[in-house]
Amino acid sequence: MLTLGSTSLTIVAGVAAIAVACLVFAIVLRRQVLAASEGTQKMQEIATAIQEGASAYLHRQFKTLAWFVAIVFLLLFLLPGETGIKVGRSAFFLLGAGFSAAIGYLGMWLATRANVRVAAVASAPDGRAAGARIAFRTGGVVGMCVVGLGLAGAASVVLIYRGDAPAVLEGFGFGAALLAMFMRVGGGIFTKAADVGADLVGKVEQGIPEDDPRNAATIADNVGDNVGDCAGMAADLFESYAVTLVAALILGKAAFGEQGLVFPLIVPAIGAITAVLGIAITRVRGNESGLAAINRGFYISALVAAALSVLAAFVYLPASFADLPGIGGELAGNGGDPRVVAAGAVLIGIVLAGVILWLTGYFTGTTSKPTLHVARTSLTGAATVVLSGIGIGFESAVYTAGIIAAAICAAFLLSGGSVLLSLFLIALAGCGLLTTVGVIVAMDTFGPVSDNAQGIAEMSGDVTPEGAQVLTDLDAVGNTTKAITKGIAISTAVLAATALFGSYSDTVRTSIADLGDAAANPGQIATAMMAYDIISPITLVGVILGGATVFLFSGLLIDAVTRAAGAIVFEVRRQFRENPGIMTGEVRPEYARVVDICTRDSLRELATPGLLAASAPIAVGFGLGVGPLAGFLAGAIATGVLMAVFLANAGGAWDNAKKIVEDGNFGGKNSPAHEAVVIGDTVGDPFKDTAGPAINPLIKVMNLVALLIAPAVVAVSVGADANTTLRLAIALVAASVAFGSVIWSRLHAAKVDLQARLEQEAAHLRT
């Protein structure tokens, strides 16, 4: 067992202290946000309705997920390993899941109180600066909690389990990723069902503004921004942080020994310090764009983090590979310097974050050529808007994937050709990217808070025309920052998944070595199951299945939004039809009924994608072997990065194209061009806020499941207790769960279609 020296233990304890300091700073920022005015009585009433709806949804979601978490907690005990490790892994699985849920709830709670404060200050002389500061510091609270809880969890495991920390951290990362995926999926279905339903009936059919209080879906739409973009994305970024640390620590121990277990904690601790700087200096100056101020804060904090990370590498790491265990002997003769390669890897991650920020802003910003092109196509109808957005999404995915691939290649070149070292450097690049995570989370939360503020202002009517324009500008900035954070999140997911892929390979090698002579002559079929050769047909089958799983997962989520949005459309139409006084302002719509429909449908649709993500790797691993499972993971990573960027950037371009038209271009509001971009935006809604972001935790959940089951797959495939019947039985059960959930989803879809047809026939009879 690897032991840690007193210096390393002191550093890890210091990291834990920094984590606590981050949480204290979050409390300070929270007080600053809540100190602002809550606006008029009508604003407060609307904000209270949003708060109640968001809180009710998350409470029901957590009750639903508690059963699933409990089942997984018990199943983890069935995996092979020492009793102490299994107990620790299961306990920290609960902690990771709890932290992920807490981050999501905190993001929702504070955002639903900051939105009304941003709306209240918008009409002030310094409304732009004050509103941007409140919205950004709201995100800063969540960002510092992400950093604080992530560091605290990882440092605690290292302090308690020392050399066995990587095995226990698998549970911590799995819990964070699993909860985040469910929160991302459920929140995404809720928010986009309400958004699409509100737009189709309100804007397109009734010709009323987006957040008109006469639309019964407006409160649900604003609730959705908080449970999807705030709670879901906050949990997503937390699990990215946790999983990246898990991968870095696992590979760091194998590559650098004690120093490799500690250095990946030092880098994000530096990021925590620079996040405080980035949040503090982000201020809008005069009439400058909020995006310019946010970008300035991001780049300054990133530069400081880069400088401090290089300094830390040269202070903590030795000057020669010969002074390191693990692969030190392998690389001792090449003259390399571990300080240089580690610092270079961190810099690769930081540069990657900056490039992705710029590239995503270019493809989705309101002043960029691609988005202006999408807006211009509105002059020829909705079809050309949809086609142009799809084209931009595909193109941007290629560039983004190419940049991520270049970063991975750079890490490989730094390693001098050592696969294990290159995987560790890729994980360090992920840690470098996450030195900016505090600012990234602040950028993401800025979007839904600004969006909600605009909705509250429009529904209350208590904001001046100048204030309304300020909120419109902040909302447009928020659309871009949300797209940027999605791009950075998928970059982090790919780096973490690639590193986990390496951890999986290391786990398989260790498991086979532990079997000794029992695995010496396993037979031809078993040998093929253990092979990683991409030219092997069975491994290629795994690659195809991995890519197909991403497509199926995305399709299920978009279809779920379609069904839930259809229910909202019918409900809002019913209220307009049965209560003519709604349009005249004499009757108050039944907002709560729409919120309840969104909650019910999103939670009902939650199970299918989650079961698919958890059971597909089990079916492939036990059914085909560890080699095809490696191919499965590779296919999921490759397809996932392209699909996620395509969906996020296409949706972001459609959304901001709508903003461009609503600002008076190409005919402005209530013109044919406006109707075309609204349709484009509704197509993009489930792309950018449901399916696209959910792919991030999907590929990490599948990698972590593979990592956890790898020893068991090896044992039942080629060990002394190899049992083909048991192996195939497990694979069959897992495949049945995956396909059974999909079939259930299809049956539910048929039921919804029948209800829609009956509703249409009833409406026809009434007329």
Q: Give tens-digit pLDDT for 602-642.
A: 887 777 887 888 899 999 989 888 888 989 998 999 999 89
For 538-556, the DSSP string reads HHHHHHHHHHHHHHHHHHH
What the block records as the tokens of 739 is 């396909």
Rounded to whole angstroms, the Cα distance separating 565 from 544 reads: 32
Instruction: Kindly give the residue spans of alpha helices, DSSP state H, lying in 516-625.
Output: 524-530, 537-578, 581-584, 591-604, 607-624
Q: Which residue has the higher pLDDT, 636 or 51?
A: 636
Angle at 269 between CA 266 and CA 275, to 5 degrees: 145
pLDDT exceeds cutoff 70 at 236:
yes
Whether 430 and 493 have beta carbons less than 8 Å apart is answered as no
Task: Give residue 520's pLDDT.
Answer: 45
pLDDT exceeds cutoff 80 at 363:
yes
Task: Give residue 307's pLDDT.
Answer: 93
pLDDT exceeds cutoff 60 at 523:
no
* Residue where the block lists tokens 């690897």: 2
Q: Give tens-digit pLDDT for 165-181.
A: 777 888 888 888 888 88
Task: Give residue 347's pLDDT.
Answer: 93
pLDDT exceeds cutoff 50 at 43:
yes
Instruction: Please give the single-letter amino acid code of residue 475.
Output: D
Taking the CB of residue 516, how many other CB atoms lie within 10 A of it? 10
> Does residue 3 lie within any of the structural domains?
no
Angle at 413 between CA 407 and CA 418, to 5 degrees: 115
Instruction: Give percent of the chain above pLDDT 90.
Output: 12
Nearest to 271, CA basis, from 318, 320, 305: 305
Rounded to whole angstroms, the Cα distance separating 154 from 263 reads: 12
pLDDT exceeds cutoff 60 at 334:
no
Task: Give residue 330's pLDDT.
Answer: 60
Whether 52 and 592 have beta carbons less than 8 Å apart is answered as no
pLDDT exceeds cutoff 60 at 767:
no
Query: How large is the average pLDDT for residues 578-598?
Result: 83
> Does residue 444 lie within any of the structural domains?
yes
Whether 230 and 103 have beta carbons less than 8 Å apart is answered as no
> Does residue 389 lie within any of the structural domains?
yes
Task: Give residue 89's pLDDT.
Answer: 86
- pLDDT category at 270 given cuts 50, 70, 90 is very high
pLDDT exceeds cutoff 60 at 527:
no
- pLDDT category at 530 given cuts 50, 70, 90 is low
pLDDT exceeds cutoff 80 at 747:
no
Helix pair angle (419-433, 258-281), 10° resolution: 20
Task: Give residue 377's pLDDT.
Answer: 93
Query: How large is the average pLDDT for residues 525-536?
Result: 61
Q: Give tens-digit pLDDT for 648-700.
A: 889 888 988 888 888 888 888 878 898 898 889 888 888 888 888 888 888 88
pLDDT exceeds cutoff 80 at 326:
no
Rounded to whole angstroms, the Cα distance separating 620 from 631 reads: 10
- pLDDT category at 262 given cuts 50, 70, 90 is confident
Task: Give residue 2's pLDDT.
Answer: 58
> Does residue 522 lie within any of the structural domains?
no
> Does residue 92 lie within any of the structural domains?
yes
Rounded to whole angstroms, the Cα distance separating 183 from 198 reads: 22
pLDDT exceeds cutoff 80 at 752:
no
First to last CA, the chain: 78
Query: How large is the average pLDDT for residues 304-322?
Result: 88
Chain center to CA of 145: 16
Q: Which residue has the higher pLDDT, 340 or 480?
A: 340
> Does residue 527 lie within any of the structural domains?
no
Model confidence, pTM: 0.84
What rounded mean pLDDT belongs to the chain?
Answer: 83
Q: Which residue has the higher pLDDT, 85 or 2?
A: 85
Q: Give tens-digit pLDDT for 535-562.
A: 778 888 899 999 999 999 998 888 888 8
Local structure of 747: helix, strand or coil: helix
Local structure of 668: helix, strand or coil: coil
Q: Give tens-digit pLDDT for 90-110.
A: 898 999 899 988 988 888 888
> Does residue 521 lie within any of the structural domains?
no
Q: Give the count of domains, the chain.
A: 1
What the block records as the tokens of 581 is 């006084």
Nearest to 445, CA basis, from 695, 102, 111: 111
- pLDDT category at 74 given cuts 50, 70, 90 is confident
> Does residue 523 lie within any of the structural domains?
no
Angle at 750 between CA 745 and CA 755, to 5 degrees: 125
- Considering 147-161, 314-328, 595-609, the range whose residues carry the highest mean pLDDT is 147-161
What the block records as the tokens of 392 is 């931009």
- Considering 158-162, 502-506, 533-537, 603-607, the range whose residues carry the highest mean pLDDT is 158-162
Taking the CB of residue 620, how many other CB atoms lie within 10 A of it? 29
Residues 6 or more apart whose CB falls under 8 angstroms from that of 512 comprise: 519, 530, 714, 718
Rounded to whole angstroms, the Cα distance separating 451 from 418 reads: 48
- Cα 584 to Cα 204, 239, 423, 459, 745, distances in angstroms: 18, 47, 63, 15, 40
Q: Residue 249: which domain range?
A: 13-515+532-766
Task: Give residue 765's pLDDT.
Answer: 61
Task: Give residue 521's pLDDT.
Answer: 47
Chain center to CA of 452: 21
